[in-house]
Amino acid sequence: MPSTVSAPRPGKSGSRVGWLLVVVSTGGASSTLRVQVWRKLRSLGALYLQQSVALLPDQPQPRRVVQRLADRASREGGEVRVLPIAISDLAAERSIIDEFCRERADEYAEVCSRTPAFLEEIATERRKGRATYTEFEESEADLHRLESWLAKIQARDYFSASGQSEAADAIAECATTLSEFEHEALAAEIGDASVRVDARSHPRASPRLRAVEEK
C-alpha cells in the first residue's frame, strides 16, 4: 500500500519548508515502470539523495502528482512510499534548498544558451531573403518548444532560483523577433508591405509564467 500524503505542516525548530521523502521500490515490476517513475520525479525537479530515494518540497502540485504515482506503482507491482518530513537542522535545509536552486539555475542558463541560435537562424533567413511563411512556421514551432521548456522549469522552481528573469527575457526577445519576421513573411507572400501582425500572437514571456498543473 502506498502511504498517504498529508497536507504541509510546519517543520521543527523553525524549519520553514515541509518536505516529502519519496522512496521508490519497483522490485519485480517492469522496467517501463522504473523509467516512468524516474521521469515523473525528474519532471517535478526531485532531488535524489541516493538511488531510489528522492526529496521534494511538500507543496500541492508535487504532492498530488507523487500520490498518483504511488497509486499507479502499487497497481503495477511496485511501491512508492511518500513520507512527509521536516528537517530540523536549518543549515542542512538551507543547503538542500541551495541545491534545488542550483539545478534550476543551470536549466535557466541552458534555455538562455539556446536562444542565440534561434535568433541567428532568423537573421540568416533575412540575409538570404527567405522571409517566407514556411520559414516562419518552422521558427514558430521552435519558439513553442522553448516556451514549453521554460514553463516546465518554472513549474519545478520551488525556491525562485536565479536566472529565471534572464531566461524569460531571452524567450521574450525571441518572440518579438519572430513577430517581426512574421510581418516580413506575410508582406512578402501577400505582396502588401502595409500588412501588420498582432503582437499579441506572441506575448512576451513572463518570469511568473507557470506550466499548467497536471490534471
What is the distance between the alpha carbons of residues 202 and 70, in angstroms, rounded to a whole number?
38
Q: Which amino acid is at 124?
A: T
Pairing mode of beta strands 53-57, 47-50: antiparallel
What is the distance between the alpha carbons of residues 93 and 41, in angstroms, rounded to a whole number?
20
Give, rounded to a whole angstrom, the gap between the first and last alpha carbons of the chain: 23
Contact 111, 171 (CB under 8 A): yes
pTM over 0.85: no
* Domains detected in the chain: 13-88 (3.30.70.240), 94-201 (no CATH)
CA dihedral 130, 133, 138, 144 (to 10 degrees): 130
Query: 171-181, pLDDT tens digit by residue?
Result: 999 999 999 99
Query: 75-112, pLDDT tens digit by residue?
Result: 988 899 999 999 999 999 999 999 999 999 999 999 99
Query: 129-173, pLDDT tens digit by residue?
Result: 888 889 999 999 999 999 999 999 999 999 999 999 999 999 999
Contact 150, 168 (CB under 8 A): yes
